[in-house]
Homo-oligomer: A and B are copies of this chain.
Amino acid sequence: MMKMLITGGAGFIGSHLADLLVSKNYDMVVVDNLSLGTIKNINHLANHKKFRFIKEDLLRLDPLKNIFRKNKFDTVFHLAANSDIQNSAGNPEIDLENTFLATWNLLECCRLFCVNKFVFASSSAVYGGTTRKLSEASGPLSPVSYYGAGKLASEGFICAYSSMNDIQAWIVRFPNVVGERATHGVIHDFIKKLKSNPKQLTILGDGRQKKPYLYVKDLVEAVFFVYQTAQERLNYYNVGAEDQTTVTRIAKIVCEEMQLSHVKLNYTGGKTGWRGDVPHFKYSLNKINSLGWKARYSSTEAVRLAVRSILSK
C-alpha cells in the first residue's frame, strides 16, 4: 500500500486531507510543528493503525532527513506553511522560512531519498493583485504579499527539482478556504467582534472585496482528484468555486446565522482590507472543470456552512 506524507497535517486544511486519505486506506505520516496546527484536529485519527503523527519542524533539515530515511514515502502532500498573511506583513522572515524554506528542505529530502511525487498547496496569492480572470497560463506572476512570494518561490523550486530529479508535481492553487478547524480569517473576525458587540460590526476596507471561497471538504477532494487524474510531469490547477462573495455579504451571513438584526456595519474604507491583501480576484476554472471536477458548494454556501460550523462548536 502506498505511504503518504502530509506536512501541516495537523492544521486546518491538512487535517481534512488526512481524514480523506485515511478513509481511502492509505498508510500515512503527518508531520507538523503544531505552531498553527493542533493535536485536537487529528486526535480522532490517533488510534488508526495506518496513521502516524510526528511533531517536527520542516526547518530542521537533519531530523527531516531521518523521517525520510525511515519511511519510504510514495507521495508528499506539502500543506505546511505560514497561513496568516496579515501577521507576516511586518515580518517577511515568517514567509521566507515557513512558506518557502520549509518547501526547499522538503524538496531536498525528495531529491536525496528518491521520492518522486510531490503535491503542493499553492495559492491564488501567486498571481497578485489584478483584475484579469486568472488562468494557469496567466503571467507575469506578481504577488503582493510575502506569503504569495513564498508560494511562488516554492513553485519555482518545485519545477526545477521536478525537471532535475524526475519528480512529478501537482501545483494546486487554492482560493480562500473556509470550514471546520479554520483558525483565523474574516469569518472568525466577524463572529468574534459580534460576540463582543452585537450592535455594530467594523469591516476593514469598503466591504466590496470580492473573492471565491471554497469549502474545505470540497478543497481536499479537489486536491486528491487532481493528484489522481492529472498526469503531466507538472500539473498546475486553479481550484475554487464558480462564484465570488463580497465581504459585506459575509458580514450579513454571519449576522443572519447569529440571528442578529439591526447590526450597524461600519467601514474603515479603502479598497483593500489590509496591506498585502488582494481585494478582488476571479479564477478561470476551465482547466480543472475539463478534468472533471466542480465544487459542490458555491462561495456563498461555503461561507454559510463555515459560519454554522464555528457557531455550533
Contacts and interface: CB of A to CB of B under 8 A. Distances in A.
Contact of A164 (B100, B126, B137, B145): B145
Interface string A211-241: 0000000000000000000000010100000
A140 B143 contact: no
Contacts of A137: 138-140
Given A108-B92, A153-B152, A276-B163, A141 B139 contact: yes
A58 to B, nearest CB: 15
A142 B159 contact: yes
Contacts of A156: 126, 141, 143, 148-153, 156
Contacts of A283: none
B136 A139 contact: yes
Nearest to A140: B236
Copy tally for this chain in the complex stands at: 2
Contact of A152 (B150, B152, B275): B152
Given A104-B96, A152-B152, A153-B153, A143 B160 contact: yes
A236 B135 CA distance: 19
Q: Which 8 pairs across A and B sit closest by C-beta, in order of nearness?
A: A153-B153, A139-B139, A152-B156, A149-B160, A144-B163, A149-B156, A142-B159, A149-B157
Contacts of A152: 152-153, 155-156
A22 interface: no
Contacts of A138: 137, 139
A67 interface: no
A72 B302 CA distance: 51
A139 B130 CA distance: 15
A73 interface: no
A128 interface: yes
B128 A145 contact: no
A99 B38 CA distance: 36
B159 A89 contact: no
A148 B160 contact: yes
A111 interface: yes
